[in-house]
Structure 1
Amino acid sequence: MIRLGRIDHVGLRVRDLDEAAARWCIQLGLVERPGGREAGRAYLSCNDEPYSLELIRGDEPGLDHYAFELHRGCSLDDARSHLESGAAPWRESEGCLYVEDPDGRTVQLMPHREPAAELDRRPQHARPSSTVRLGGPRRLGHVNCLTGDLEAGHRFYTEVLGMRLSDRLGEAGLWFHVNSDHHVMALVDVGYEHFHHLAFEVVDIGKMRDMLDHLARHGRWVSWGPTRHGIAGNIATYVRITEEPCHVELYCDMEQLADDHVPRTYPDDRYSSNTWGPLPPRSYFRFDQVAIDFERESWETRGRPLPPPGEPA
């Protein structure tokens, strides 16, 4: 038996650790925790959690791994026994288990950590602090990946990791949950694999507006949004990160699921993706330089078709 409790962090490889840590902190309002630099890492937090984003010095920037904490009712021994039963190949290192999903992405499984003190069990706004800064997101909420094999991903995340299916988008997408949040993980089938985005929850759309104004001053642009998703219901805006090729989603107002939630199948149409308006530009699903240039200059919405992958602009 295996059961996950929550998402813990995302690990990204970066070329220049000093530059990347400073950039993520000043642009997204994150705070660097002490330690890690001697091992070529930087640990960044949203609020008073140990960290939500792990930056790792590497030659090829991009996703290194994402990590989930086990549920309090599932020990590391329970998870190990589940994997040893043939669920998937795995390895163990420094008190954590590691598996790879069908697209080759590394998933870290961390043991459950009880709060250090009774005060730490309170809601975030009611925990006294002398170190938490004003300005950042509330927490890391979920990840989303592109895939070329949706059903293999379905089997892995439900059978190997014990996630539960929240909803389907026709034959194009799957959303998974581990607690009451509508999803902690999603897969979208575009015919190839890529880490698409990590998502930070903000308190409301007013906070989202403030963060987007701030990001725009730092040269960032919105790749899609603001939207109101039909699936999951969250208000979301996606910002392009060119250095570590992915997007950051800022979101609020996500649907909360009941314990007896029954998965739904939504039609693959505009309303399921965005009840407020348009689908994303096709550049939103790509990470090549041509797509990035088209998105930066809004060429698609100005009537210039995005060339197929591999073709010049």
Structure 2
Amino acid sequence: MTHVAHLEELYGLRVFHSPGASDTAADLPRPETVAWRIATETYDAEETWEEAFARFCATVDTTKVRALVVGPWEDAYEASSSRVIEVLLAARDRLPALRALFLGDMTSEEAEISWITQADVSPLLAGFPALEEFGVRGSQGLKFPALRHDALRALALESGGLPVDVVRGVGASELPALEHLDLWLGTSWYGADSETADLAPILSGDRFPNLRHLALRNSEIQDEVAAAVASAPVVARLDVLDLSMGTLGDEGAAALLGGQPLTHLKKLDLHHNYLSEPVRQRLTETLVTAGVEIDLDPDGAEEYEDEGIVERYVSVGE
């Protein structure tokens, strides 16, 4: 399985790790020029996340900060992000310029993606109405009830198994400015229990009129998702369609090829797939010759056989 890496960029700004105990404002970049990452240790932390955030607020002119990346908080594999959310909400008057927030930037060494304990993240969107980009990694305990947010342009929920209530909550939300939606649907081994019918509000094209980049990826039902996408009204307005990181095989690719035209796309991302060479060639001949950038992986993913049963795996599970 792929190891999830730390973010290197958010809101077009490079990620800069929060000030150390000996740093002064003179040692640091201008507050508006980077995305600030605040973190502590997951295991055996010497300070709490709240203490790290307090030092950040004492050292940096937070009124100019445009992007924040929340890294590990102590014991993130069993302690939820609710404390972090409360601290951020308490500081919202000190963060008037905040436009981008990512919650849970951890690698597998810090906490496996399926272990990261989240909470109801909707208060962050309510508390920061000017937020334009919002991302969450980890779905244990994650809640995303239907909401309205008029400024949000990009939403990413990264998981090894996204609960159906979260998928339905996103689909029922009113996000009129949303241009980029990225859902890692995951595997039932780690909590994924949605079906393609739960994606219908997203695929209809009615909920998010400005959507241009749709990623429904890392799914163990990627063939079924591809079949639903093949006739989905939303596709006609997309620039980028991403069905990567899952168990996509020839059946799903055939549905895409037999569905509505995809030649208007700028990019089709299918990396980490289980496609045969003839189907790869059909995709290339149909789309690349029409000017569509397509990511198929040089070799695709590898199937495994267990007691005579062939298994396919998503890119990111545990």
TM-score, length-scaled by structure 1: 0.29
- Give the helix-richer structure, 1 or 2: 2
**Larger Cα Rg: Structure 1 or Structure 2?**
2
Q: Compare relative contact order (CA 8 Å, sep 6+) and give the higher one, 1 or 2.
A: 1
- Give the strand-richer structure, 1 or 2: 1
TM-score, length-scaled by structure 2: 0.28
